[in-house]
Structure 1
């Protein structure tokens, strides 16, 4: 997505009360100030940790739609296993010889404490919370590893049947920087053996289970029958997860190039220490919208934005 020339600025933290509500929706800040709960009169809700700005729950009428490991750390000690972790500024292990080479896998956004910026609502019955991250929010070690003058504004919008996540990346420095970004969404499903993923046919994908070799997708409906870790390049804007003829989710991306399809399956979960229950791979699939097949370059005094809407068909 082309950058837009405008002076970026991270907003100051808003005067958010512990609870705000209206006829459209409400926001509640936990007593420990570590999480935010969005809710609508329809019964839809979403919970977001300030740690990593990670969405850890999305419900419609008490039905949980995100998968979260029972062993996941939610105290800020490590990245959350499940929900919607945010990957920035690098996807996967950092390549040697690049400006991100000293960063941890998947970068620092998912392991940093974000600031709560404020809330908004609209007449259509949605509620939104904005979070911010800048160099001032990082510890000295992380800033030394990625010494750019950046700003991130991350928005989570809850609607009656959908959840939207959007990120704005700002470069307020004097030099360009490269980055990856990805919404690492763990969708909860009834049974991995009965679902199919549609919308990726004929695309080129990089298969990380086969040494990163490239292949062309030949299936109209992709079935998960073994460990799956693929990066589909230049994917269409809408991907569907279905059970038979019944759509379960539609994942619609904006300003993002690629889609990652991931399920560790039975052999992969044995290598993941915080994955519980081990059989949980049967009840999740990651359909992750992002720009990760190549670097996004952001020029000085410019912004970039991208987002994804997850719609549930209940």
Structure 2
């Protein structure tokens, strides 16, 4: 055999892709779960596109979910991250939404799972997309709110964070007004040792005290009774709201285009009156810090879109 001095060298081995997130659909195609190669996980129920669980690499749960939560589609989930749209609470004086149930219909509707996406050069994150449109609504909801809309909800899991992004589009010819909120239930060890910072000197509506207009002092928020407040932070959405538990910073919430923050804990009496709130002393182990656009109405003309987001970082 002739020895060729310039013979081609062996082909380089094909570089293998890094491990990718594993996404599974289970429970009668009603749940979507994503697990990163590093162990972090998120679980979303298609009913309401409700995030039920978010765990870090060691399996430590970050969200509070009531033991009595209904996960069969009979009512909105108590816990996790329910989605509020197109009205926050009830609005009897706002004609378009006056007949809707509390917090609207997004958390009571079955969403579609639109698929996953990730950075192919990295295994650091995975994005899950969910959709809801006026065509998906049941007849009763369409009668109560007859506007054409589209909702795109993206949940992105990364090793040290969870991002949730909601895009609302007016797909009809008629303008509509709406509100939206990410009703996040954080799991904490002891509400009596929790502080919330980042809302200092900010105006708020105190819903426990007759919806009176008040201003937060320069001190952190602490809890000693039922709390239900709608803040409009003076430092804007980009300034983090931090939840500290027992002197240790646990969560850092950064908002994008969501001007308001609701802080809620039902305490003893309110918890006792909610049939799906279990255990009854569960208020000791949860606090809601909810990013939203709820103090005013977002008006969307034909073809307009509104996008709001939060990213929760583990400190």
Structure 2 length as normaliser, TM-score?
0.90
Superposed CA deviations along residues 223-280 of structure 1, whole A, max 9, x for unmatched, are: 0111000000245331000135421100111010100000001121111111000111
The 2-side partners of 1:22 and 1:140 are apart by 46
Q: Is the 8 A contact 1:263 1:286 kept in 2?
A: yes
Residue 19 of structure 2: aligned partner = 23
Residue aligning to 1:85:
82
Q: Distance in 2 between matches of 1:239 and 1:98?
A: 33
Counterpart of 2:214 in structure 1 is 215
Residue 136 (structure 1) aligns with: 135
Root-mean-square deviation (CA, aligned residues, Å) is 1.4
CA contact 1:199–1:220 (8 Å) conserved in 2: no
Q: Which residue of 2 aligns with 1:109?
A: 106
Tell me the distance in 2 between the aligned counterparts of 1:97 and 1:215: 23
Aligned-residue offset at 1:172: 1.5
Match of 1:256 in 2: 258
Secondary structure (helix, strand or coil) at the match of 1:58 reads strand
Of residues 129-138 and 236-245 in structure 1, the stretch that sits farther from structure 2 once superposed is 236-245
Bigger shift: residues 95-104 or 49-58? 95-104
- In structure 2, the partner of 1:127 is 126
Choose between structure 1 and 2 for higher RCO, CA contacts under 8 A separated by at least 6 residues.
1
Cα distance per residue 1:169-228 (max 9 Å; x no partner): 011211211000000000000110111000001110000001111100004211011100
Q: Which ranges in structure 1 are unaligned for 5 or more consecutive residues?
A: 1-20
Distance 2:253 2:162 in 1: 10
Seen in structure 2, the aligned counterparts of structure 1 residues 172 and 273 have a Cα distance that, compared at 3 Å, is same
Structure 2, unaligned runs of 5 or more: 1-16
8 A contact 2:199–2:233 mirrored in 1: no
Alignment correspondent of 1:302: 304
Task: Note if contact 2:190-2:246 (Cα within 8 Å) is conserved in structure 1.
Answer: no
Post-superposition Cα deviations, 1:43-63, rounded to whole Å, max 9, x if no partner, equal 100000000000000001210
- Tell me what 1:150 maps to: 149
